[in-house]
Amino acid sequence: MAAAVPCTLGSVQAGRARWVAAGCSRLGHGWRLSGSWGARRVGPVLWARAWAPPAGGPVPRRGYSSDVKSEDELRVRQLEEENRGADLKERAKMHSSEVGPFVSKIRAVINDIANLPVPTIAAIDGLALGGGLELALACDIRVAASSAKMGLVETKLAIIPGGGGTQRLPRAIGMSLAKELIFSARVLDGQEAKALGLVSHVLEQNQEGDAAYRKALDLAREFLPQGPVAMRVAKLAINQGMEVDLVTGLAIEEACYAQTIPTKDRLEGLLAFKEKRPPRYKGE
């Protein structure tokens, strides 16, 4: 989940939620990015799983990107956490002076995810309300089960989305529709979200309740063989180019393309094509 990682793919799943790739986060109750970490290696893939302490137990805090920067061989990371949005019971106990800094921390974490130099996929199999949807909006691709529920519902609580929702939702579906959803605090199912362009794929939920997660894994498997440097700069070119005019965007594309020219991966790709074999990219 950091610039040192040559190629990582991610997915986030809300309700029963994970990310596959850059990170895989479980979204359920509360907005706590905490836990302890264990990892096992499966071939070139490293899986890391976070655990939540028992109810009432101590919660060790950690940052999302603090330890990932050194994992140079990381290809797929899974973080597991419960999160459907902000914990309103916790919020109700906060002094007004604590709310602003609390929301700022949430916004910073979501921004970190949005700025990951690798593809991220949000897989929404359950609820993604408020902060849960804001986290999904920070991902590059969103997939959902038809039974999933998602929405920015903060105006019901006399507040507004504070984790980037007022900015990322209009960029995803357009200003007018975004205003309608935020003003009404409407909750969408997977089919409705697909019709508005909020998610790229919608699937009938399976018996295990992880249809979106399985689709996210399928997408991650499609992404994983591609050149790591190319994936990183392609994401950079698209993200930065969307914020500027076309002429400036084309200049950004040119600069990003230039970063791929001196790489060993580019030469390996050409050689693999010539020899009609799968390329063996190393992210260099």
Q: Is the dihedral of CA 177, 115, 147, 215 positive or negative?
A: positive
What's the confidence (pLDDT) of residue 34? Answer: 30
- Domain extent listing, the chain: 10-23+74-224, 225-283
Task: Check whether 195 has a pLDDT greater than 50.
Answer: yes
Q: Catalytic residue among 2, 21, 86, 178, which?
A: 86
What's the confidence (pLDDT) of residue 96? Answer: 77
- Whether CATH 3.90.226.10 fits 10-23+74-224: yes
Task: Check whether 65 has a pLDDT greater than 70.
Answer: no
**Is there a catalytic annotation at residue 86?**
yes
Task: Provide the mean pLDDT of the chain.
Answer: 76
What's the confidence (pLDDT) of residue 276? Answer: 94
Exposed / middle / buried, residue 125 (Cβ in 10 Å: 0-12, 13-18, 19+): buried
What's the confidence (pLDDT) of residue 18? Answer: 53
Task: Check whether 120 has a pLDDT greater than 70.
Answer: yes
**Is there a catalytic annotation at residue 134?**
yes
With cut-offs at 50, 70 and 90, classify the pLDDT of residue 284. Answer: confident
Query: In angstroms, rounded to a whole number, what is the distance separating the alpha carbons of residues 3 and 159?
Result: 34
Q: Catalytic residue among 80, 81, 82, 134, which?
A: 134
Query: In angstroms, rounded to a whole number, what is the distance separating the alpha carbons of residues 15 and 29?
Result: 8
Q: State the pTM of this model.
A: 0.73
**Is there a catalytic annotation at residue 154?**
yes
Query: In angstroms, rounded to a whole number, what is the distance separating the alpha carbons of residues 133 and 256?
Result: 30
With cut-offs at 50, 70 and 90, classify the pLDDT of residue 35. Answer: very low
Tell me the DSSP string of the chain.
Answer: --TT-SS-BEEEEESS-BB-BS-EEE--SS---B-EEEEEEETTEEEEEEEPPPTTS---B--SSTTGGG-TT--BB--B---SS--HHHHHTS-HHHHHHHHHHHHHHHHHHHT-SS-EEEEESSEEETHHHHHHHTSSEEEEETT-EEE--GGGGT----SSHHHHHHHHH-HHHHHHHHHHT--EEHHHHHHHTS-SEEE---TTS-HHHHHHHHHHHHHTTS-HHHHHHHHHHHHHHTTS-HHHHHHHHHHHHHHHTT-HHHHHHHHHHHHTS-------
- In the block, residue with structure tokens 């939702």: 169
Q: Catalytic residue among 80, 81, 82, 154, which?
A: 154
Query: For the ranges 28-32, 138-142, 192-196, 227-231, which has the lowest average pLDDT?
Result: 28-32
- Which residues, 6 or more positions from 237, have their beta carbon under 8 angstroms from its beta carbon? 249, 252, 253, 256, 257
Query: For the ranges 52-61, 118-127, 156-165, 212-221, which has the lowest average pLDDT?
Result: 52-61
Q: Catalytic residue among 131, 151, 165, 190, which?
A: 131
Tokens at residue 108, please? 């910073």
| 23, 10 Cβ separation under 8 angstroms | yes
Share of the chain above pLDDT 70, in %: 68
Residue of higher predicted confidence among 73 and 132: 132
- Which residues, 6 or more positions from 78, have their beta carbon under 8 angstroms from its beta carbon? 18, 19, 20, 23, 24, 47, 48, 49
| 121, 76 Cβ separation under 8 angstroms | no
What CATH architecture is 225-283?
Answer: Orthogonal Bundle (1.10)
